[in-house]
């Protein structure tokens, strides 16, 4: 398998703390990879570094063999590196239809068109409809996003990322805060992502992680504590004391 | 899907604006002022309502348009459309050049920066008196006939028709733009800049583009002002212009294009009525009105408008509606 996303000795410091401490990481093409670690381990910071929300103090980020460390956020999205947010980041005054159309229109390169109608592009109309149907949002597509239940908003969070046609999708705790009853639908959505999309999933729920992942990276205090196949991670004594044991008690 | 068709209420609004010319032939000068203020407010709505950029210095662009159009009329040619075009181009250019200043920072820094640009332009106009006429302003502007046909008369007939016509054309254009993919990307930035960039939207370019467009619109309003009053003074760059237009949008509501239009009608009538019985203190009363309006009435009024608009929305998936 070939590596699609890679970091080399990535470091991020905020004043005295180092939430990303020389992380060298690789994500393989088509991966189902989980990134786990206790609260404050630096998982979200790592995703922010990958997607350009934060600039690293040192080290490099590579996508498809090319150095993208200094690339703008939107340029990374255009070459297929897309993420969701741990805390919902939605276009709250829009409807799901409008939000998905906004992302799709950008992906199709229509965003500079100031004089054409939104429904003038057949590609935009069909792709938007496809995504709404795929994420089972078509029945609520005309409601204002801000008024929708949290579980649905979480679903839109993923759908909007998917609308950008990622080759690499970074999911930051997609089911966080979602009530048990709605969790299943959300996790089905994650499980149903196309095989050619490489997925990095951040998740605290170990059942979900071990069901989903074929490879797991454990982050503690900004450093990679362990990296490998799920069964190896489950047996790793360092992981058990530093993380899994703690989670089992807490 | 996703299209916004013209609603009968909109047609009625514009028919009303035309009919007003015949119903109130002695109020044409006031109505001309309203049309120009409406265009100015429309311009602010483009950045405030659709892109979330607040400004307290929008008069900079009004003034740029007014002085440019006045300058063209005095020194180049008296054709109104030429002056209008030059005014829009000059203001648009100023918008483009100053746009980097509003890309960074939060609402407060934007308010400060735009305020600063506005004050700077005022001082500049004062200093460059060999172009602007300084405190005396540009006087003796003679306008040629509109389309070589219609003379600007004392009653404001041609003036109102001209201003309303320009407002309508630019409104239709704005309406088209805000409902385009570009317009949708602006709303994305306004709603959530973090998500917008995470969706591939180049935030800075889009904001610079709409800021330039908005400046050109304000320039058009300034040009109309210079041409129909045949006078430009430092007053066009004064802070109260920027504050008034903000007030107009607050009254009318931002982000649905008609807010500036409705707001300017309400604002001018308020100003007219209040200054009728208390000429010195009208600003006090409008200030008081504003406070009460923001505290209580706004949600009520805008709630009503939004409820109507919600019914006007045409959002049908999968087919061209
Ligand atoms: N902008 C910032 N400035 C200063 N410190 C920060 C900043 N962002 C994150 N941190 C710190 O970096 C550390 C890692 O935070 P991060 O959000 O990446 O953890 P996480 O693994 O995602 O945690 P969680 O599981 O709770 O989401 C924390 O100590 C946090 O307080
Ligand atoms: Mg996190």
Q: How many domains does chain A have?
A: 1
Euclidean distance between the first and the last CA atom of chain B, given in angstroms as a whole number: 6
Nearest CA in chain A to B206: A112
3-state secondary structure of A39: coil
Q: Name the closest ligand to CA A218.
A: 1
User: Taking the C-alpha atoms of B267, B268, B269 and B274 in order, what is their torsion angle to the nearest 10 degrees?
Assistant: 90
Averaged pLDDT for residues A203-208: 89
Number of H helices, E strands in chain B: 15, 0
Cα distance between residue B306 and residue B294, in whole Å: 17
User: Residue A137 above 50 pLDDT?
Assistant: yes
| Structure confidence at residue B316 (pLDDT) | 38
Residue nearest to atom 28 of ligand 1 (CA): A40
Q: Is the CB of A80 under 6 A from ligand 1?
A: no
Cα distance between residue A160 and residue B136, in whole Å: 57
Domains of chain B: 8-277 (1.10.3470)
Q: Which of A74, A121, A125 sits opposite B202 (nearest CB)?
A: A74
| Structure confidence at residue B27 (pLDDT) | 87
Residue nearest to atom 2 of ligand 1 (CA): A14
Exposed/middle/buried for residue A85 (C-beta within 10 Å: 0-12, 13-18, 19+): buried
| Structure confidence at residue B315 (pLDDT) | 43
For chain B, the C-alpha Rg in angstroms (whole number) is 19
Asked if A35 and A202 count as a contact pair (C-beta separation under 8 A), the reply is yes
Q: What is the CATH number of the domain that holds A212?
A: 3.40.50.300
Determine the residue among A102, A109, A154, A159 to mutate to test chain B binding: the one whose Cβ has the most chain B Cβ atoms within 10 Å: A102
Q: Is the CB of A121 under 6 A from ligand 1?
A: no
Q: Is the CB of A43 under 6 A from ligand 1?
A: yes
Which of A15, A16, A17 most suits a substitution to test ligand 1, by most atoms within 8 Å of the C-beta? A17
Residue nearest to atom 30 of ligand 1 (CA): A40
Q: Is the CB of A12 under 6 A from ligand 1?
A: no
| Structure confidence at residue A54 (pLDDT) | 96
Run of H or E including B36: helix B28-51
Please choose, from the candidates A130, A128, A46, A146, the residue with its C-alpha nearest in 3D space to the C-alpha of residue A86: A46
φ/ψ (deg, to 5) at A207 = -60, -50
Torsion sign, CA atoms A128, A129, A135, A140 = positive
CB within 8 A of B113, min separation 6: which ones?
B57, B101, B102, B105
| B318 contacts A114? CB cut-off 8 A | no
Determine the residue among A54, A74, A126, A154 to mutate to test chain B binding: the one whose Cβ has the most chain B Cβ atoms within 10 Å: A74
Q: What percent of chain A has pLDDT over 70?
A: 96
| B318 contacts A138? CB cut-off 8 A | no
| Structure confidence at residue B318 (pLDDT) | 38
pTM above 0.80, yes or no: yes
| Structure confidence at residue B201 (pLDDT) | 96
What's the longest Cα–Cα distance across chain A? 61
Confidence of residue A244 (pLDDT cuts 50, 70, 90): low
Q: What's the gap in Å between A209 CA and the centre of ligand 1? A: 21
User: Residue A15 above 50 pLDDT?
Assistant: yes
Cα distance between residue B265 and residue B317, in whole Å: 36
Asked if A75 and B203 count as a contact pair (C-beta separation under 8 A), the reply is no
Q: How close is the nearest chain B Cα to the Cα of A81, in Å?
A: 9
Residue nearest to atom 8 of ligand 1 (CA): A45
User: Residue A64 above 80 pLDDT?
Assistant: yes
Averaged pLDDT for residues A89-105: 96
Nearest CA in chain B to A146: B191
| B183 contacts A102? CB cut-off 8 A | no
Nearest CA in chain A to B194: A89
| Structure confidence at residue B211 (pLDDT) | 97
Token pair of B78 as six digits: 């008296």
| Structure confidence at residue A240 (pLDDT) | 84
For residue B187, the chain A residues in CB contact (below 8 A) are 91, 93-94, 98, 102
3-state secondary structure of B275: helix
Nearest CA in chain A to B183: A114
Asked if B71 and B138 count as a contact pair (C-beta separation under 8 A), the reply is yes
Count CB neighbours of A26 within 10 A: 18
| B3 contacts A74? CB cut-off 8 A | no
Helices B80-98 and B203-229: angle between axes, nearest 10 degrees? 150
Higher pLDDT, B74 or A69: A69
For residue A110, the chain B residues in CB contact (below 8 A) are 181
Euclidean distance between the first and the last CA atom of chain A, given in angstroms as a whole number: 37
Asked if A158 and A174 count as a contact pair (C-beta separation under 8 A), the reply is yes
Q: In Å, how far are A53, B218, B233 from B260, measured between CA atoms? A: 36, 12, 24
3-state secondary structure of A202: strand
Asked if A186 and A4 count as a contact pair (C-beta separation under 8 A), the reply is no
Q: In Å, how far are A187, A192, A217, A246 from A230, measured between CA atoms? A: 19, 20, 9, 18
Pairing status of strand A66-67 against strand A58-63: antiparallel
Q: Could you say which residues of chain B have pLDDT below 50?
A: 1, 314-321
Cα distance between residue B11 and residue B157, in whole Å: 22
Global ipTM: 0.93
Please choose, from the candidates A117, A75, A4, the residue with its C-alpha nearest in 3D space to the C-alpha of residue B202: A75
| Structure confidence at residue A249 (pLDDT) | 46
Query: In this complex, how many residue pairs, one in chain A and one in chain B, have their CB atoms less than 8 Å apart?
Result: 134
Strands of the sheet containing A198-202, edge to edge, are A81-83, A168-172, A198-202, A32-36, A215-220, A223-228
Q: What's the gap in Å between A235 CA and the centre of ligand 2? A: 25
Q: How close is the nearest chain B Cα to the Cα of A121, in Å?
A: 10
Q: What's the gap in Å between A86 CA and the centre of ligand 1? A: 12
Across the strands, what pairs with B103?
none
Cα distance between residue B198 and residue B185, in whole Å: 12
Assign residue B253 a region (left: φ > 0; alpha: ψ between -120 and 50; beta: otherwise): left
Averaged pLDDT for residues A177-182: 85
Q: How close is the nearest chain B Cα to the Cα of A83, in Å?
A: 7
A152 touches chain B (CB under 8 A): no
Asked if A89 and A172 count as a contact pair (C-beta separation under 8 A), the reply is no
Look up the domain containing A208 and give its range.
3-249
């Amino acid at each position: 398998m070939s590596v699609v996303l890679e970091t080399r000795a990535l470091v991020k410091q905020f004043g005295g703390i180092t939430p990303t401490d020389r992380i060298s990481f690789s994500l393989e093409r088509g991966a189902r990879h989980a990134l786990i670690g206790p609260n404050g381990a630096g998982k979200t910071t790592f995703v922010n570094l990958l997607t350009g929300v934060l600039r690293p103090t040192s080290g490099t980020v590579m996508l498809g063999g090319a150095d993208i460390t200094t690339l703008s956020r939107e340029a990374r999205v255009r070459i297929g590196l897309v993420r969701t947010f741990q805390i919902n980041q939605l276009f709250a005054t829009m409807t799901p239809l409008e939000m998905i159309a906004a992302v799709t229109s950008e992906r199709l390169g229509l965003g500079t068109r100031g004089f054409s109608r939104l429904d003038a592009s057949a590609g935009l109309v069909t792709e938007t409809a496809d995504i709404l149907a795929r994420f089972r949002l078509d029945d609520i597509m005309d409601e204002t996003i801000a008024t929708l239940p949290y579980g649905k908003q979480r679903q839109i969070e993923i759908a909007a990322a998917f609308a950008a046609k990622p080759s690499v999708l970074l999911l930051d705790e997609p089911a966080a805060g979602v009530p048990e009853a709605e969790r299943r639908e959300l996790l089905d959505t994650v499980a149903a992502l196309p095989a050619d999309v490489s997925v990095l999933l951040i998740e605290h729920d170990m059942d979900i992680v071990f069901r989903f992942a074929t490879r797991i990276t454990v982050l503690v205090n900004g450093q990679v504590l362990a990296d490998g196949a799920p069964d190896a991670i489950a047996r790793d004594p360092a992981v058990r004391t530093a993380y899994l044991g703690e989670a089992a008690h807490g | 899907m996703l299209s916004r068709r013209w609603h009968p209420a909109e047609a009625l609004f514009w028919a009303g604006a035309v009919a007003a010319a015949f119903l109130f032939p002695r109020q044409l000068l006031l109505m001309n002022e309203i049309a120009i203020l409406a265009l100015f407010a429309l311009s602010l709505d483009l950045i405030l309502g659709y892109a979330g950029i607040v400004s307290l210095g929008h008069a900079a662009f009004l003034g740029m348009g007014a002085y440019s159009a006045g300058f063209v009329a005095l020194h180049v040619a008296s054709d109104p459309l030429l002056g209008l075009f030059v005014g829009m181009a000059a203001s648009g250019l100023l918008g483009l050049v100053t746009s980097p200043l509003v890309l960074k920072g939060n609402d407060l820094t934007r308010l400060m920066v735009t305020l600063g640009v506005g004050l700077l332009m005022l001082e500049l106009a004062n200093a460059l008196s060999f172009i602007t006429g300084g405190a005396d302003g540009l006087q003796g502007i003679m306008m040629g006939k509109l389309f070589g046909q219609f003379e600007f008369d004392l009653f404001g007939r041609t003036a109102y028709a001209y201003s309303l016509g320009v407002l309508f054309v630019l409104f239709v254009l704005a309406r088209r733009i805000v409902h385009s993919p570009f317009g949708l990307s602006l709303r994305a930035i306004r709603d959530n800049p973090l998500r917008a960039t995470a969706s591939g939207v180049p935030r800075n370019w889009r904001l610079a583009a709409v800021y330039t467009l908005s400046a050109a619109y304000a320039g058009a309003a300034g040009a109309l002002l210079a041409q129909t009053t045949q006078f430009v003074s430092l007053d066009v760059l004064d802070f109260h212009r920027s504050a008034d237009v903000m007030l107009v949008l607050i009254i009318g509501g931002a982000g649905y294009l008609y807010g500036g239009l409705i707001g300017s009608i309400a604002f001018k009538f308020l100003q007219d009525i209040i200054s009728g019985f208390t000429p010195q203190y009208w600003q006090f009363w409008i200030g008081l009105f504003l406070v009460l309006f923001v505290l209580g009435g706004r949600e009520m009024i805008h709630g009503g408008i939004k409820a109507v608009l919600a019914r006007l929305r045409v959002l049908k998936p999968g087919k061209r509606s």
